[in-house]
Structure 1
Amino acid sequence: MKLNSEQLCDLAVGAAFLGTGGGGNPYVGRLMVQQCLDEGLTVEIIDPKELKDDALVIPTAMMGAPTVLVEKIPSGDEAISSLRRLERHLGRTAHATMPIEIGGINSTIPLVVGARMGLPIVDADGMGRAFPFLEMETFGVYGISGSPLAISDEYGDGAIINAVDNRQMEWLARAIAIRMGGSAYIAEYAMSGADVKRTAVPNTMTLAIRIGAVLRKARAEHRNAFDALLGFLPSTLYRYGKLIFSGKMIDVHRETKNGFSIGRARIEGLAPFSSVMEIEIQNENLVARVDGKVRAIVPDLICIMNTETAEPITSEELRYGQRVTVLAVSVPEIMRSPEALDVFGPACFGLKEPFTPIEEIA
């Protein structure tokens, strides 16, 4: 599949939705990819099934606090530098790149890398959404090492990290990203085509494009965009979604701490909803509660959207007074296994509540 400008716009919207508030604003990444298209470069997205089993795939991404991207805009060369640095370290050349997460800007960084390096981008990722920690990958859950990891900034600084496990890799890389100004660009989880097919959440880039298209067409046809999206999800790996709250944003607390965007959002309900919903945030929306009762919890998606436009709202864009609608969406089964919940379930974020699928929450 050769990506065009309309699909790129749809991808940015769909990735913001799947990012559950995190992953960085895809607007900046969309402009970077559009520049590649304007220069006549090709952005080729391939199905994981097209990979040869022995092909080397090196995912690329941004890491750090999404709020930093409001002022610290990437050039696009940083992630390329990391991929090349990792290739030199491994003594091998990548056959393809891919996202580590489908949320936000990290859905578009690999597109820039692929376009400028002449590499295809695999239609899959390792989170099926966005998570704040690098070890929170289905790749790692099912046996792939994130190390060696290459990290670079906009000044040409860079490093290779070899860690004893993926959690230690995250801890070391986070410290470097903080000293690089709160965000940096990485290449990690180098793996074979066979491992991509075994461990990745498949076809999430084309899913993001389809989500964006559903919302765009519903608005153009003056249909209810939320109903259109909820009606579409059962045909995907995500299977189930529901509207869990609607109201006015009455409080947003946000700070950048230890390389993450930490905060909470409070939404005052509008009919037919009452009371107040509070959402805890660590880059992404982790848990949504009403009167202390959980309505959705990680790893299931909690998506805050503009009530009037049905546009997803990233965590750094939340503002007092916004009219918002909150959707909850089930994640694929590969992300709900006991092994997966041990890596990115509620307890991994310090939450006391156990994971309960949104289908089972009244």
Structure 2
Amino acid sequence: SMLPIAAAARLGLPLVDADGMGRAFPELQMVTFTMGGVSATPMALVDEKGNSAIFNTITNKWTEELARAVTMSCGGSVSVSLYCMDGATMKRYGVRDIVTRSQKLGEAIRKVKSVSGKTPEEAFLEYAEGYRLFKGKIVDVLRETKGAFNYGKVVLEGIGSDKGHQARIVFQNENLCAQVDDRIVATVPDLICLVDAETFIPVTTDALKYGKRVLAVGLKCFEMWRSEAGLELVGPRYFGLDTDYIPLEERANGGEADV
């Protein structure tokens, strides 16, 4: 995510304050540009050894399939450039102000403990416009690599006001579904974020470890992901979850689906 910023700075080029997700998804075709009919290719791929390739594919899903196979052959890490488009398409389908929002969230994390009249947790949730899902200690992490993805589940035992309850979060590179006891509280495409319970710094799925205390926070996704086309691309059923999508704010108010 930082490479475009570095490239723009080095080349002296303007950087568009937008992206195609507004969050993170594990597959290349999972961008708003796909809904706009933009082709992921021609796509350039290069690894740190100097190997490079140009892809031209018939669908964006095929771009994902072929590029991931090459990426694994290159050691699991490459840089890519893809989704060439004109400004009008970017304006229509891009998730705007995402770099600015990231900066503001970073600033909020740094200043959250100095906000008067609020606890750090209250200040963080207000800054992030987030929904408190659960606070707990990690008691189990299950991981497996399957099809070049990191699949797994993290189990949290409640602490503080959540003591006596248990949460489970399923992930595929990114968090997909959060469940507290027997109730689903959030699913993709809304964001399920785990942050350190004291510093509020994000904890990624590869950094999950036993004993760490985390706060699970839900953030509303970009509105386009809630459309029929968006849910077909990144909804819970695409990832094999047996539940329909219910917006995060509705689940927070008591709406729930089958578990």
- Whether the TM-score (by the shorter chain) exceeds 0.5 is yes
Contact 1:304 1:326 in 2 (8 A): yes
Residue 228 in structure 1 maps to residue 123 in structure 2: yes
2:17 is aligned, of 123, 128, 153, to 123
1:355 match: 245
Aligned-pair RMSD on alpha carbons? 1.5
Given that 1:304 and 1:327 are in contact with CA atoms closer than 8 Å, whether structure 2 keeps it comes out as: yes
Question: Which whole-Å CA distance do the structure 2 matches of 1:298 and 1:278 have between them?
Answer: 15
Matched, 1:182 2:76: yes
Q: Which residue of 1 aligns with 2:257?
A: none
Paired letter, 2:91: K
Structure 2: gaps (5+ residues):
255-259
Aligned residue-pair number: 250
Distance 1:221 1:272 in 2: 22
Cα separation, partners in 2 of 1:271 and 1:220, compared to 1, 3 Å = closer
Equivalents in 2 of 1:143, 1:184: separation in Å?
A: 25
Instruction: Map Cα deviations across residues 122-161 of structure 1 (whole Å, 9 max, x no partner).
Output: 1111001000000000011122111111111001101111
**Which structure 1 residue ranges, 4+ long, deviate > 3 Å from structure 2?**
220-223
Deviations 1:247-301 (A, max 9, x none): 1100112233322222111101123213211111111000011233211000001
- Alpha carbons of structure 1 residues 114 and 213: separation in structure 2 relative to 1, 3 Å: same
**How many Å separate the matches in 2 of 1:221 and 1:190?**
42
Correspondences of 1:180-329 after superposition (within 5 Å) = 180-221=74-115, 223-233=118-128, 240-273=129-162, 274-329=164-219
Cα deviation for residue 111 of structure 1 reads: 1.0
Tell me which amino acid in the other structure corresponds to 1:244. Answer: L
1-structure distance, mates of 2:114, 2:13: 35
Query: By percentage of residues, which structure has more helix?
Result: 1
Deviation, structure 1 residue 113: 1.7
What secondary structure sits across from 1:132 in the alignment? coil
Once the 2 structures are TM-superposed, how far is the Cα of residue 109 of structure 1 from its aligned partner? 1.6
Q: Give how far 1:221 is off.
A: 4.5
Amino acid at match of 1:311: I
Structure 1: distance between partners of 2:121 and 2:161: 16
Compute the TM-score of the two structures, normalised by the length of structure 2. 0.92
Q: TM-score, normalised by structure 1?
A: 0.67
Match for residue 110 of structure 1?
4
Contact 1:177 1:259 (C-alpha < 8 Å) held by counterparts: no
1:53 alignment partner in structure 2: none
Question: Which residue, out of 218, 222, 228, partners 1:332?
Answer: 222
**Identical residues among aligned pairs (%):** 42
Q: Secondary structure at the match of 2:134?
A: strand
Confirm or deny: 8 A CA contact 1:149 1:189 kept in the other structure. yes
CA contact (8 A) 2:177 2:192 kept: yes
Any idea what SS the aligned residue of 1:267 has?
strand
| Cα drift, residue 329 of structure 1 | 1.1
CA distance in 2, matches of 1:112, 1:257: 32
Higher relative contact order, chain-length normalized (CA < 8 Å, sep 6+): 1
